[in-house]
Amino acid sequence: MTRTADWLCPPDLKAATVAQREIAEACEMEDRIDSVRLLAGLDTSMKWRDSKGPIHAAIALLKWPERTVLPPATATRIPPFAYVPGYLGFREVPALVAAWEMLVEKPGLIFVDGHGRAHPRRCGIATHLGVLLDVPAIGVAKSILCGRLEGDLGEEPGATAPLVDRGEVVAIALRTRARALPVYVGIGHRVSLETAVEWVMALGEGRRLPLPTRLAHDAANAARRDYEAGR
């Protein structure tokens, strides 16, 4: 499927809806991952309750399998799209793409703070970015956007339960740490659910969130603080 400008910056909500459905259709849900030597976590930060102010995006880089942390790439952009529930990707993706374009070496796998296909139109931010950039992507979300859990989720690390929406398994609830709230691991693009869960567990290090998204969270907040301080 040919990518269009509307996938990044649609002119209105109708075009955004069409773009999300096209992106969801283009999403690959089986493994197509080349040899991974560089991982990345992607996240954004913004001033609390500031719907018009800038989005601060960060891509945190990690050599694999050494787990060596490299300097992040960051970008700050005024969002071109107003906040509408279910369309958050159109606010955050342009800043993340700007940070991506700054990278000299592109990572072979990305971890996005947000949902993949666990979205009403199967186009959460991890799917949006993964398809737009055509890079293997995993969504790691902290709350449920749509669907409901089926079965019991055990308390032990590694326990899983499917998140189901309209008869489709759209993510896996994963307990990464004993007695901690689960995360919701989803397909972004070119990664199966089973492989996505394996990667998140491999990078958990006993914490609720995997290392790449923790690093990206810290880098995005640091970029926001620097901007606010005029640095």
- What is the set of domains in the chain, with CATH numbers? 5-228 (3.30.2170.10)
Q: Where do we find the tokens 């990305």?
A: 110
pLDDT at 198 over 70: yes
- pLDDT score recorded for residue 51: 74
Residue that the structure tokens 């040919």 belong to: 2
CA 14, CA 26: separation in Å to the nearest integer? 19
Task: Give the pLDDT mean for 157-186.
Answer: 96
Contact 25, 1 (CB under 8 A): yes
- The reported pTM is 0.95
How many Å apart are CA 231 and CA 227, to the nearest integer? 6
Average pLDDT over residues 122-145: 98
The pLDDT mean for the chain works out to: 95
What is the pLDDT averaged over residues 48-73? 93
